[in-house]
Amino acid sequence: MKNLLLSFICLMLCTTLGVKAQVSVYNSTQLKSAFTEYGKIAEYQTAYDEASAEAATAKKNRDEQSRYIAKESYDSLLVKCRDVYKNYNSTTTPLFFATKKTVVLKDAVLDGDEGNFYDWYDANYATLESLSDEEVYALFAAVPGNEGFVESSSEEIHVYPLEPAKMKINGVEAKNTIVGNLSAYRNKYANSNFVFHYLGYDEYESGDSRYIDCYNDAAVYSNLAKFKNKISEIASSQEIVVQNAPLVIEYTENPLWTQYNLEYLTAAEKANNALTLLNSAKEYKDISIKGSFNTDAHISSYGGNIAGNGYTLTVSNANGALIGTSTASISGLCVSGAKIATTNNGNYKNCAVISGGITGYVGNTGVSYSSLPELAAAMSGVFGVDMTSSNVVLLPVTQNYKVYEYLYYAIDSKTVASKGYLNSRNGALVGIGKPTLGKNEFIILQSANTNTAITEDNVIEKTSDGYVCNSCRIVDGNEFFAPVGFVAKKMNYSRSFTANVWSSLVLPFSVSSSVLSKIGVTHVNVFSSFENKVATFASESSMEAYTPYIIKTSSTGVTFSNLVNVVVGKSSNNDSELRAIGGNGYFFGNLSTKQYAISQLSNNNAYRIFGFNSNNQMVRATGNSSFPTFRCYLKVKESEFASSSADSKIRVQFVDGFGKLIDEDAATAIDEVTSENFSVFGGNGEIIVNTEKASNVSVYTTGGKLVKVAEVVEGENSIAVAPGLYIVNNHKVIVR
């Protein structure tokens, strides 16, 4: 009995604690079956609720009874009493009689000093564990040979109502109550208002006689005399039995408890069967689609969960929808040819409908898309497309089928030339219509690649931390334009420099002093001023992005290759952001196409353009002279020069961060020009000039200060100056 009870309790708990199973659906037949089973949930729930209520009522009735009672052997008396009571009035509560024997054991027995009470109890533990102490003592005393261990005993007749839940005392149900010893409660019962009127019974002794009193509510029964006569007959029979035969007491299972327990177990089994069906049907509240297929399935209402897993159901039914009214949570499902639901009162998450257009549902609000790849890119966690195939269909997303939107920037227009969608596979972007990048062009993914890291050059990814390019390759001499700022995990800019020769350079990224030292750049100078035809460059320890410099390397062939985590700034269309201004001169960096000095840079000869030649000289650019990408040039207003050709040259000097002149030898060497018709050397207090042509000669200190402008004629000329070091037409001269 206990095991069955525990089974039912476990059954009730499992209803609450059970783990839901998920039903996998691979084809239309399975989907229709799932919808059919789901539709039976309400039917099975009702059956389960009814059976559970029936079981609960039976359990309540059972628990209001004592499981074990003491019963006398005169069963005929019990039968007669019940028959009289039932036949007299059907509305009365049937009773049965029982005798309870109360036994008190000696203290020595309970202390373990006498008898074998505890050994006997252990041996019969399974039978005795649920009994009261009084019941256990009585059974022990009934064992032959144990009479001497009894301290005292008494017997009393008890009356048990067969339906105690129907009897009320003062309006309160008499639950779990054994109605007995009625002489002690006579007045109380007589004054009570019972819903079902009660027949009282009591037995007592007076002298040598035993008596039975019967009483009831006289107002209820019109034929009270007849009723008492019947009870007297029973009393007489009992008295005879009591007087003529000794009472044999035995403990037995209460028949009422047994009856209600059977009802309970029957209802519990019925509830268990209903619950099995209900749980089986409830499994279809959680459906997982495992493939794309055609179906004519339809369900009028659904409130479970459907995981589409990125698959497509092509629906063809008369309803025009997979579901009539949905209160379900549906995710990752694409329905083609119909709606997901005619009425959606539930939740969509990353779903799609292909019917008269393409509609995507990130949430419950639909958004129109022009193509499946566009939708797949927007819901890239669920849907994918094979962009290498001409058959464009939605697929469950995988790393190879995940769709990335891209923007392609053409270098000539510096704008988005095209946009589209691609897959990422094996470190490269793939797909029909993928643009071919020109030199220094970029393609930008609008989301971060999650497949194998992209290794092809100049692919920029938009990540949560900003734009990132795994491999950036800048080709020297070709126009450069960065549409966005980004971090290049690996940067390659290849250009061959000549050792110990000044070269101009502008880069779209910064370079630290440690990196410059590592790759062999020994000097970095930035333009600071132009005064009196002297261009001054100040020494720097590092390079900033989009800033023009002149540099010198320690060896030939130095390249800016394999740099890591380089920050590339966004390009600007404004060339003023690529220039350094100093006095009357401008030093520009060129990141556009090759720029021609006269036709493009001179502003119709309003400026003179200077740059470094291959002989380490800064000279004026004339004719078809040009400046490739990543080179720099000096731009000076024409008004800074006299009409004489002797004034067309400028001098370059270098200062440290405090403005102190440095590297004088290098400064003079920059624009020293060898000429057969002009020579200059120093003498005592004079500068001697030999020339074949009259001209004006400018004399400067090494600090760039103009000392004098002397007019020389053909032949040898003397210019008086104080002893010192001078610069004359780009020649260094020492005067003693």
408 plus 526 within the same structural domain: no
Identify whether the C-beta of residue 310 lies closer than 8 Å to the C-beta of residue 46.
no
pLDDT value of residue 425:
95
Is residue 478 included in any domain, yes or no?
Answer: no
User: Which of 253, 284, 312 delimits the end of a domain?
Assistant: 253
In a domain, 379, yes or no: no
Same domain, 704 and 634: no
Residue 294 lies in a domain: no
- In-domain check, residue 49: no
pTM score, whole prediction = 0.60
- Domain around 731: 674-735
What does the pLDDT read at residue 671? 35
DSSP 152-198: EEEEEEEEEES-GGG-EETTEE-TT---B-GGGTHHHHHT---SS--
Sign of the four-CA dihedral 8, 13, 16, 18:
negative
Same domain, 122 and 87: yes
What's the CATH number where 685 sits? Answer: 2.60.40.3080
Q: Are residues 87 and 223 in the same domain?
A: yes
Specify the pLDDT at position 712: 80
Is 5 contained in some domain? no
Q: Do 237 and 126 belong to one domain? A: yes
Distance from CA of residue 728 to its chain's centroid? 75
Within-domain flag for 406: yes
Same domain, 91 and 212: yes
Q: Tell me, what's the pLDDT at 663? A: 56
Query: So what's the pLDDT on residue 684?
Result: 78
Q: How far is CA 679 from CA 672, 719, 728, 734, in A?
A: 12, 13, 10, 14
Are both 458 and 599 inside the same structural domain? Answer: no
The pLDDT value recorded for residue 710 is 85
Tokens linked to 255: 């028949």
Indicate whether 107 and 203 sit together in one domain: yes
Using alpha carbons, list the distances in angstroms from residue 245 to 74, 147, 242, 546.
9, 20, 6, 124
Spell out where 594-730 has E strands.
Answer: 595-596, 607-612, 618-620, 626-627, 632-637, 651-655, 661-662, 678-682, 686-691, 695-701, 706-712, 715-720, 724-728
Q: How many domains, in total, are found in the chain?
A: 4
Q: Which two tokens stand for residue 672?
A: 């020293």
Residue 182 lies in a domain: yes
Last residue of a domain, one of 202, 229, 253: 253
The residues pairing with 467 across neighbouring beta strands, listed in sequence order, are: 462
Residues 642 and 678 in one domain: no
Whether residue 125 is found in the same domain as residue 244: yes
In a domain, 388, yes or no: no
What secondary structure does DSSP assign to 541-585, as a single string?
SSB-TT--EEEEESSTT--EEEEEEEEEPPP-S-GGGGEEEEBTE
Q: pLDDT under 70 in the chain at which residues?
A: 1-21, 66, 68-101, 153-253, 574-580, 582-583, 613-617, 642-648, 663-679, 692-693, 714-715, 730
Say yes or no: 524 and 440 in one domain. Answer: no
Instruction: Note the pLDDT of residue 644.
Output: 52
Going by C-alpha positions, the residue among 239, 234, 231, 172 that lies closest to residue 199 is 231
Same domain, 76 and 198: yes
Terminal CA-CA length for the chain: 130
What is the SS3 assignment for 34?
A: helix
Phi-psi region of 267 (alpha: psi -120 to 50; beta: other; left: phi over 0): alpha
Last-in-domain residue among 204, 238, 253: 253
